[in-house]
């Protein structure tokens, strides 16, 4: 891949969670006043442009019910045409830890089935919204036929029988250093977190969200969690520039590969 690190460098994959404004607001209980999901539409277009410019083949974690929206479905299908992998981010983007066993089963099993049927692509990976995962959910992920999960941070226990692709550990730093937090705290925080994690020599999962690339269309939010999504002090151009700088830094320090290639590497290493 052009611009990727040397063969001696550890591998890295690029992931993008397709949480649009409608699902973000629903998860937090905020009213969403718009007909269309501008964050999803513009954010995914921005992300695809970023990946195209950098030669990255990413894995996009899609919410299955978004296929019912023609505008969203068209963009997800375009991502597939551009060579990106699709993985599951549940059916409705609800926190699994707050659901019954039957509801968890639907979110995990049905999302795989709907995405595979709708996109004609094998769905291999799963990520739980808000990284809210438990042993019952792990068992369902394995039973549903996923080949990997990416719902934990490095150092957290996974589950037997399924490959875990964790996000990088960040302790003793107070927050994860993926772009959603580093865009608020500053690029220095991303550089610090990446430098510390690079010393481990472990594979890296670089996780973007749509809100990293496009401001939310609704400003009347309060609290620190809202700042992560709204960030009214940054515009689209500065977000894109900063995300590109973060991705370029990763590409200098790691071999950026597709998730399927990382799966093969980690499976062989076991």
pLDDT at 229 over 80: no
Output the six-digit token pair for 109.
Answer: 């099993």
For the chain, the first-to-last Cα distance in angstroms comes to 25
Output the six-digit token pair for 102.
Answer: 């039957």
Domain assignments of the chain as residue spans, ordered by start: 11-269
Q: What is the pLDDT of residues 135-187, one digit of tens each?
A: 999 999 999 999 999 999 998 887 788 999 999 999 999 999 999 999 989 99
pLDDT at 227: 54
CA distance 109 to 197: 33
Output the six-digit token pair for 171.
Answer: 């302790």
30, with CB counted inside 10 A (0-12, 13-18, 19+), is middle
pTM for this entry: 0.93
In this structure, of 35-49, 54-68, 151-165, 169-183, the range with the lowest mean pLDDT score is 151-165
CA distance 204 to 191: 14
What's phi and psi for 205, nearest 5 deg? -105, 110
Q: What is the CA radius of gyration of the chain?
A: 17
What is the mean pLDDT of the segment spanning 127-139? 96
Q: What is the pLDDT of residues 5-33, one digit of tens each?
A: 666 899 999 999 999 999 988 887 878 88
- Assign domain 11-269 one CATH number from 3.90.1710.10, 1.10.3720.10, 3.40.50.1820, 3.20.20.370: 3.20.20.370
CA distance 42 to 47: 9
pLDDT at 223: 58
pLDDT confidence band for 3 (50 / 70 / 90): very low
Percent of the chain predicted with pLDDT > 70: 90
Q: How far is CA 169 from the centre of its chain?
A: 16
CA distance 171 to 80: 35
pLDDT at 30: 78
Mean pLDDT of the chain: 91
Q: How far is CA 60 from the centre of its chain?
A: 6
């Amino acid at each position: 891949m052009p611009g990727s690190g040397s063969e001696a460098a550890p591998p890295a994959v690029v992931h993008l969670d397709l949480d649009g404004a409608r699902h973000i607001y629903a998860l937090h209980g905020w009213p969403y006043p718009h007909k269309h999901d501008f964050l999803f539409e513009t954010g995914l277009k921005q992300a695809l442009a970023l990946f195209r410019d950098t030669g990255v083949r990413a894995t996009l974690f899609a919410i299955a019910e978004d296929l019912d929206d023609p505008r969203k479905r068209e963009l997800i299908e375009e991502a597939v045409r551009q060579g990106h992998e699709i993985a599951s981010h549940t059916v409705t983007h609800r926190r699994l830890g707050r659901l019954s066993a039957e509801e968890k089963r639907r979110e995990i099993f049905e999302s795989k089935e709907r995405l595979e049927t709708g996109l004609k692509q094998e769905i291999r990976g799963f990520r739980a919204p808000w990284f809210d995962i438990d042993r019952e959910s792990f068992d369902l992920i394995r039973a549903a036929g996923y080949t990997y999960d990416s719902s934990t941070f490095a150092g957290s226990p996974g589950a037997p029988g399924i490959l875990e692709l964790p996000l990088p550990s960040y302790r003793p730093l107070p927050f994860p250093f993926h772009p959603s937090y580093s865009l608020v705290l500053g690029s220095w925080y991303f550089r610090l977190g990446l430098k510390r994690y690079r010393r481990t020599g472990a594979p890296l999962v670089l996780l973007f969200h749509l809100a990293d690339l496009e401001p939310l269309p609704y400003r009347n939010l309060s609290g620190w969690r809202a700042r992560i999504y709204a960030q009214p002090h940054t515009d689209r151009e500065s977000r894109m520039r900063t995300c590109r700088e973060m991705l370029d830094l990763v590409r200098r320090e790691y071999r950026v590969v597709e998730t399927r290639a990382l799966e093969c590497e980690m499976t062989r290493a076991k």
